Structure 1
Amino acid sequence: MAHWPYNTSKWARLREAKLSATPLCEICTRRGLIVEAVAVDHFKPINQGGSPFPEMSGLLSLCLPCHNEKTASFDKPGGQTFRRRFKGFDANGNPIDPFDAWHGGASGTVNPQQKTGGVNKRRLNNKCS
């Protein structure tokens, strides 16, 4: 993989900026949970043509379980690109998957901050369900 970014100072700065701007897992927030984000993930994976250093809107702040869920369902070679990456609905009945066509994900221009209705609840075990 040419120019893999994860061991560069540029990626470290971008990752820190994203986690500072969005310190909570964006998917758990949609699920009504408050969970600290520990990973920064690309909307469009690098191995599928995504930019190694995208704009902040091209990144997701995720907890480890949500990061693993996205990677397992979409980012791996042979992943199921036609299904939802994140399963479930928010308190308003909207899909929590920011890539869902309902959120505009079909066009590839989605804002994961939009439509995050519902009440946040703190989970004691800090895991997504």
Structure 2
Amino acid sequence: MSRWPYNTQRWQRLRRKKLARDPLCQACESLGHGTPAHAVDHIKAIRNGGPAFPPIDQLLSLCQTHHTQKTAADMLDQGEAWTLRGCNPDGTPRDPDDPWNAP
């Protein structure tokens, strides 16, 4: 990446710190998988008003698949509503809007 803030040393330090603290994809971990994370993503995208250099707990360590899904949702201005596809370890749908979760 060659665009600000991703081309700064400050971002690279923050990215390394996040990956050192959370080396596995946080989305995959919630599904019970141990996939290594390769990307660090803002929970709230910069283009949607998120800070460029947020506290580490406002970042996500993600594998390439989940990073691509989240980025696509952000581009459609659905980043806040981005949910992980699939089921929880107990078999229930992860999407709170899934009809299965209806009262």
Q: TM-score interval w.r.t. the shorter chain?
A: 0.7 to 0.9
Question: Which of the two has greater helix per residue?
Answer: 2
Report what 2:85 is aligned to.
87
What's 2:47 paired with?
Answer: 47
Using the TM superposition, give the Cα deviation of residue 31 of structure 1 relative to its aligned residue in structure 2, in angstroms: 1.1
* C-alpha distance in 2 between matches for 1:17 and 1:94: 32
SS in 2 for 1:60: strand
Q: 1:57 to 1:81 in 2, by over 3 A?
A: closer
* Residue equivalent to 1:75: 74
Q: 2:101 maps to which residue?
A: none
Write the distance in 1 (CA, Å) between the matches of 2:53 and 2:17. 12
Cα distance change on mapping 1:63 and 1:33 into 2, 3 Å? same
Fraction of identical pairs, as percent: 43
TM-score for both structures, normalised by structure 2? 0.79
Structure 2: tracts of 5 or more residues without a match: 98-103
User: CA separation of 1:71/1:38 partners in 2, compared to 1, >3 Å: closer, same or farther?
Assistant: same
Moved over 2 A (4+): 78-85, 92-95
Residues 81 and 61 of structure 1, relative CA distance in 2, 3 Å threshold: closer
How many corresponding residue pairs? 94
Report which structure shows greater RCO (CA 8 Å, sep ≥6). Answer: 1
AA at the equivalent of 2:11:
W
CA RMSD of aligned residues (A): 2.3
Shift of 1:34: 0.9
Distance 1:82 1:53, change over 3 A: closer
Amino acid at match of 1:87: R
TM-score by length of 1: 0.64
